[in-house]
Structure 1
Amino acid sequence: MTFRDVLLQRLTFRRQKESKFHEIIVANNRLLQQNMDLEKRTKHLGKENTDDVGTSQRVQELDRRIRELNDERGEMYKTQSENAQRLVNLNEQLRTREEKDKKQTEHVKSLSARCDLQVHQLREKDVTIQILQDELAALQLEIHTTEEKSKRLVLENQQLVERWINKMNEEAEKMNEATQFYETALEQARDAADKQKRQSARRRDGSSAESTKNIPYSSIVLPKKVYKKINIHEAEIHCIAASSCGSMFATGGADKKIKLLDARTGHTLQTLNGALQTITSISFNATDEMVLGSGTDNATRIWSLSTHRLRHTLTGHIGKVYSAKFTADSNRVVSGSHDRTLKVWDLQRGSTIRTIFTFSSCNDICLMDADGQTLISGHLDNNIRLWDARTGAAIKELTGVHSGQITSVSMSPDGNSLLTNSRDNTLKIIDIRMYDIIKSFQSDTYRNGLNWSRSTFSPDGKYVAAGSTSGGIHIWNARTGKVEREISEHSSVVCGVAWNPNGDYLYSAEKNKAVCMWDTSK
């Protein structure tokens, strides 16, 4: 090492050694200076204390002022705290309002979108309406053109009809002129033959009248007490009917069975099964070869009485079938239903050949004529309607006859009058030719308790019979309208009565399973 380097090293070491006390020296000098300043201030304060007598009062005033300032500061802290709490509350309210405004903004956006959609839909509908209006105008123009064409065709048709009538009249006049000669030539011979026929007819009428006077007529005797009471069904009875030939009668009910009974002894001959629900009406054909039963399963079933087997099942109604009848030739059946229709069935094909819409539920039907060309139906709307079975057209509607629904309709033995039964507790006979009410029947003790309660004429047409809710059988005189006999053996509402066509028995059935036979021959 050179001398210069050694010297530089020693100087550096000395500076490092001495610099360790530099901060202590500086701090000591600063403390000395502060001590000197404090001594000077103390001297100055001591001098002031000796010179100023009111220093203590000033100090007190300063202390009081400090206390006031401290109190004021406390109040300000309190106020600041309250303001801080108010600020927090206001911030919370502001946040709530901002959220509410945000939701309202979103709702407004949704409503705006819906409004835009509706405006779009309205525009589309306006376009559709315009198209429909154009089509309507075109259709109206087409209708107008068609009407004009129809008027022309009607006018042409009238002209053709007039021409055809004139031509037919001309041909008829020619034929009348041609036949006039023959009529004139045969008139004298015809007159002579007519005179001879009238004379022979008078002789025959006189002899037949004398012979009929000698034949005694066995009139019906009204019963006084029950001949036989029978309980054969397992559930409620809904209907009863006598056979056409008078050899048996039948009952049907909620046990889905038809019971065939001997007309004189009441012994059960046969039980017919096959129905799915309650039997509502029974009818025999004219030769007692078949029997039908309508039911609440919307069907009518036909059994053969020779084999006691089910022969036809007629389905097509959409409501309960309350009544059905055979025509005289047994080739057709007419049924009436709760679905407001009548149906005419062809038994050879087993299908419907005509459906008649009746405007009201049908409770019962009957045939005005044996071949079934004219039908009579009684309805839930209190009206009676006549129908042409060939065309399905309405012939006549009888309104105001009853004030309650019709429960039964049946023709008189002579075929000139109709017997009706109603829930207004009256029966009426209507002249079917003039549509006039001939006789009305009622009694203080008679009450019609069922919508399917059936009434009946006696075979000679002199009496009318019906069952009441009390279980009594009322028999009226068909000519006078007076109650001839009131007999009671049943314990519940009577659902139907049927007279044997031979006139020797009256059959009645109550809903509570009992059947009564009344002897009307002695």
Structure 2
Amino acid sequence: MTFREVIVQRLRVRNDQETKFHDIIVTNNRLLQHTIELEKKVKLFEKDGYVNNGESSTQLAELDRRIRELSNERGEMYKTQSENAQRLVNMNEQLRTKEEKDKRQTEEIEILSTKVNKLTAKCELQVHQLREKDVTIQILQDELAALQLEMVTTEERDKKLVEENTQLLERWMNKMNEEAEKMNEATMFYETALEQAKAKKQLKRGSIDISVPYSSIVLPKKATKKINVHDAEIHCIAASSLGSMFATGGADKKIKLIDAKSGHTLQSLSGALQTITSVSFNSTDEMILGSCTDNATRIWSLSTHRIRHTLTGHIGKVYAAKFTGDSNRVVSGSHDRTLKVWDLQKGYNTRTIFTFSSCNDLCLMDADGQTIISGHLDNNIRLWDTRTGTGIKELTGIHNGQVTSVSMSPDGTSVLTNSRDNTLKIIDVRMYDIVRTFQANSFRNGLNWSRSTFSPDGKYVAAGSTDGSLCIWNARNGKLEKEIREHNSVICGVSWNPTGDYLYSAEKNKTVCMWDTSGKKH
């Protein structure tokens, strides 16, 4: 039943209750009127003298009896009427209570009806949205099926291309082998002549094959010179292989060549598109390379000061690069978790090694670059065979922070590591054991590319701290020998001149310090 039907039913019940005693009340009124008329007739009879008549007396008696009966009946009726009136009042009160309750219920019904309508509309909206999502899901499923089909087709086409490429490569290699066999006899003659010319050239230029003598190292007390050569932050510093100069690179996209003794700027090399992250000289100081955050490594000729090679192929920032001893190859390490070996004669990448973690620095374990040591973002140090591209050894648990630099000892038996856990360690590369640990209360490694260095005689190690302090430790006993503060901000790298006469340090905030370690008076 609707609420309107309920209200109509309740009104009918109320009307039935209120008219229940209507007939009794009407009868009582009629009897009362009849009694009044009889009393009037009695008074008329008495007035006309019929009172003494016997028959009239009998009639009067009968009338009195009836009047008494009617009076009694009227009293009962009054009593019943009073009771009915009281009941009527009670019922009216109950009816008013019920009407108020019904009114409240009606209001509640209206509120609930409004809520039901809103919920119904919301439910319909959600049903509509579900239908739209079902349609979208179906579309996505269709697109996924199409992409899967396209992927299968692409894989099949890729397999065919790989097979065709393999066949073409075999044919090309066979052809090249045939041509190489024909040229071998002439090549042997020319190679002999070139080796003789190269030996003469190295003797004239003081090649690394003729070892650079270094003086007895005396630890400095203060900086000999402070120079500012860059227009923006410095990120790296390195001494040349023969000790005649050192180089710095920075955020101004330039490499500055500086005289090793006077500190005068010799040349500014440009061509990089972004920040220079590391610099390195080849063994004869004829070339210098700079790795860069534009994902490339560039090689400049120091005779012409022009770019000779641009090595592109990494898909991440290149953080470190080194020449091999013969200057024919370069090894680079990148944020893209790869090492690449570049053949400078052919001009392209000959080996890519996946390192599982971003490479912060690398060094060559041997001059020909057959074994590489790399330091990584995941705190580990790894050794690689560049001939096969396979890993030789992974050293874990050495540091608790990412490795910021690795450098070989002068005797080639150990590697120096620097880490964001504020320690340096010497690791024996023959036994893979930690030989020495260096730390100090004030030493804090403040950069992910902070470089440390051995002294040329292997007796000392040096590194820069975040507060601008230069720390030098004894490599044999791990004792902190010197802590000198000449810089005002974090030191990004240090490099020792191979002659042992000077130590160079660069702070990120553009200042380079030269430290005299020869003990000579200037």
TM range (shorter): 0.5 to 0.7
The reply on whether 1:373 has 2:370 as its aligned counterpart is yes
- Residue 465 of structure 1 aligns with an amino acid whose one-letter code is A
In the other structure, the counterpart of 1:335 is 332
Could you tell which deviates more after superposition, 328-337 or 56-65? Answer: 56-65
2:464 corresponds to which letter in structure 1? G
How far apart in 2 are the matches of 1:303 and 1:286?
A: 14
Pair 1:407 & 2:395 matched: no
Partner of 1:254 in structure 2? 251
Q: 1:374 to 1:232 in 2, by over 3 A?
A: same
Structure 2 gaps of 5+ residues are 1-33, 46-59, 135-212
Partner of 1:79: 94
Which runs of 5 or more residues in structure 1 are unaligned? 1-39, 119-215
Q: State how 1:261-410 maps to structure 2 within 5 Å.
A: 261-410=258-407
Matched with 1:46 is 40
| Deviations 1:257-295 (CA, angstroms, capped at 9, x unpaired) | 222212221112222333333322111222323222223
Q: Which amino acid aligns with 2:372?
A: L
Task: Note closer, same or farther for the CA distance 1:335–1:75 as it changes in structure 2 (3 Å cut).
Answer: same
Deviations 1:217-267 (A, max 9, x none): 842333333221012223322211112222221112233322221222111
Q: Summarize the Cα distance change of 1:225–1:93 in structure 2 as closer, same or farther, 3 Å threshold.
A: closer
Deviation at 1:407, TM superposition (A): 1.9
Is 2:214–2:501's contact at 8 Å kept on the other side of the alignment? no
Q: Percent identity?
A: 69
Is 1:424 equivalent to 2:421 in the alignment? yes
* Residues 273-321 of structure 1: CA deviation (Å, up to 9, x unaligned): 3333332211122232322222333332333333333344333333332
Match of 2:455 among 450, 458, 465: 458
User: What is the number of equivalent residue pairs in this alignment?
Assistant: 382
Structure 1 residue 516: Cα displacement: 0.7
Change (3 A) 1:236 1:88: same
Q: Deviations over 1:143-200 (max 9, x none)?
A: xxxxxxxxxxxxxxxxxxxxxxxxxxxxxxxxxxxxxxxxxxxxxxxxxxxxxxxxxx
**Equivalent residue for 2:433?**
436
Stretch deviating more after TM superposition (85-94 or 250-259):
85-94
Is the 2:215–2:499 Cα contact (8 Å) retained in structure 1? Answer: no
Alpha-carbon deviation of 1:42?
A: 9.6
Note closer, same or farther for the CA distance 1:440–1:88 as it changes in structure 2 (3 Å cut): closer
Secondary structure of the 2:220 match is coil
1:49-82 deviation per Cα after TM superposition (whole angstroms, max 9, x unaligned) = 6644557956973566556545544444443444
Aligned residue type for 2:94: T
For residues 287 and 75 of structure 1, do their structure 2 counterparts lie closer, same or farther at Cα, with a shift above 3 Å needed? Answer: same
Determine the C-alpha separation between the residues in 2 that align with 1:520 and 1:288: 22
Deviation at 1:496, TM superposition (A): 1.1
Query: What letter is aligned with 1:498?
Result: S
Q: Alignment partner of 2:322: what SS?
A: strand
Give 3-state SS (helix, strand or coil) of 1:323's partner.
strand
**Aligned with 2:230 (options 233, 254, 258):** 233
Distance 1:420 1:65, change over 3 A: closer
Q: Distance in 1 between matches of 2:39 and 2:107?
A: 57
In structure 2, distance between residues paired with 1:481 and 1:276: 41
Check the 8 A contact 2:383/2:394 in 1, yes or no: yes
Kindly tell me: are residues 352 and 85 of structure 1, through their superposed partners in 2, closer, same or farther at Cα, counting changes over 3 Å? same
